[in-house]
Amino acid sequence: MVSATVMKALVGAESGGYLLDDIEIPVPGPGMMLCQVHAVALSPYDAKIVDYSNTPGAVGGCDFAGIVVGVGEGVTRFREGDRVLAVTFGLNSSDKTAGAFAEYALAIEDLSCHIPENFTFEQGCSMGLGIATAGLALFQTSGLHLEIPLSKSAYADEEKPSFVLVSGGSTGTGTMATQLLKIAGYTPIVTCSPANNSLCESYGAAACFDYRSSTCGADIREYTDNSIVSVFDCVTDAPTMRMCYEAIGSSGGTYIALEAVTQVVKYTRRDVRADWLMTPTITGTAVTIPGLYGRPSTPEHRLFGAQFFLLAERLMKEGGLKNHPLDIREGGLAKIPAYVNDLRVGNVRGKRMIVPLIAA
């Protein structure tokens, strides 16, 4: 139980950016847990949301790990004292208490996992957003139509591998997607810098292609014998999208991205269905971000998330999912705004930035 009523948290500032402030410790509602936060992970989302859709007074941050100190009505999978990792979506205009950058954070039972005994809090906090994003992209919104639970045995009789391209294979979402595809029986191939080939192969990539090569798309098409029908783009700019379109076989396919797709490229091939996702839809509630980033309530995404986080928990416990390489930064909550700026200007590559809030 928590005896204090006030905590330190990073919230959206009136003038923009993040502000360290004292706010009330939230109370967990139905299906929620209150957690003492031990470590948080930073992502590009944390920079984009504060720059383009800041909500003054709302707690920031998405990825955290900690210990359950209170449970709301209806919670059955977790109890006080459990070590958990969770994903939430900070700077939320609909719920200012949502967010990870705080001494205490609310976790959604459906979007949380028990941390395996062999995982540290630092490892655990790096997993939730990747699980949610890769899960939605590959198995819910992209048309790959994989079944849950994933099973290699379902594909054991296939004579040829079913290739799936992950563009940006060395990103945190890319390594998560590669692992999940391999577990599901697909053959993941990736684009990355040649310096990251070994990294991507260690997560299950069957082949790596240099995204800077002018023949990258054609090389992938040749390697896969013109058979690629599914692409997950973790980079999403016009040159990358064009390369992905070149890699897709002549029968067409599906392209799913993490940012709004480039319309000029989108219509260069009418046989390719292009779409992009907003990971916060996994909460099932409306995404209240202005413009094309807003989304209506999507209950089916919440149902998917509940199943998928259960699966991810099992896979982590069995050793089937491992974390992306970590870049651990000291300084606690007060240093996070500077670290977010490092993400903003591209000073972090190939690792998830982690900030411990409680010393191990």
pLDDT tens-digit map of 20-73: 999 999 999 999 999 999 999 999 999 999 988 899 999 999 999 999 999 999
CA dihedral 331, 332, 338, 342 (to 10 degrees): 90
Structure tokens at 260: 């709004």
pLDDT at 223 over 50: yes
**pLDDT score of 292:** 79
Would you place residue 155 in the very low, low, confident or very high pLDDT band (cuts 50, 70, 90)?
very low
Mean pLDDT calculated for residue range 242-248: 97
The residue ranking higher by pLDDT, 209 or 159, is 209
Q: What is the pLDDT of residue 157?
A: 45
Burial pattern 235-248, b for ≥16 Cβ within 10 A else e, equals bbeeebbebbbbbb
Q: What token pair was written down for 274?
A: 């292009």
pLDDT band at 145 (very low <50, low <70, confident <90, very high): low
Confidence of residue 1 (pLDDT cuts 50, 70, 90): low
Q: Which of 135-149, 262-276, 282-296 has the highest mean pLDDT?
A: 262-276
| Predicted pLDDT of residue 161 | 62
- Above pLDDT 90, what percent of the chain? 81
What is the pLDDT confidence band of residue 156, given thresholds at 50, 70 and 90?
very low
Q: What is the pLDDT of residue 153?
A: 43
Judge whether residue 239 has pLDDT over 80. Answer: yes
* Cis before 149? omega within 30: yes
pLDDT at 151 exceeding the cut of 90: no
pLDDT at 360: 66
Residue-level pLDDT at 359 = 78
Asked whether 164 and 178 are in contact (CB, 8 A), the reply is no
pLDDT at 148: 57
Q: Which residues contact 347 (CB under 8 A, 6 or more apart)?
A: none
Burial (CB count within 10 angstroms: exposed 0-12, middle 13-18, buried 19+), residue 69: middle
Per-chain mean pLDDT for the chain: 92
Q: Are 169 and 175 in contact (CB under 8 A)?
A: yes
The whole-number average pLDDT for the span 172-201 is 95
Q: What is the pLDDT of residue 356?
A: 98
pLDDT category of residue 295 using cuts at 50, 70 and 90? confident
Over range 211-240, report the average pLDDT.
96
- Is the per-residue pLDDT at 187 higher than 60? yes
**Residue 37 contacts residue 128 (beta carbons within 8 Å):** no
As a whole-number percent, the residues of the chain with pLDDT over 70 amount to: 94
What does the pLDDT read at residue 144? 56
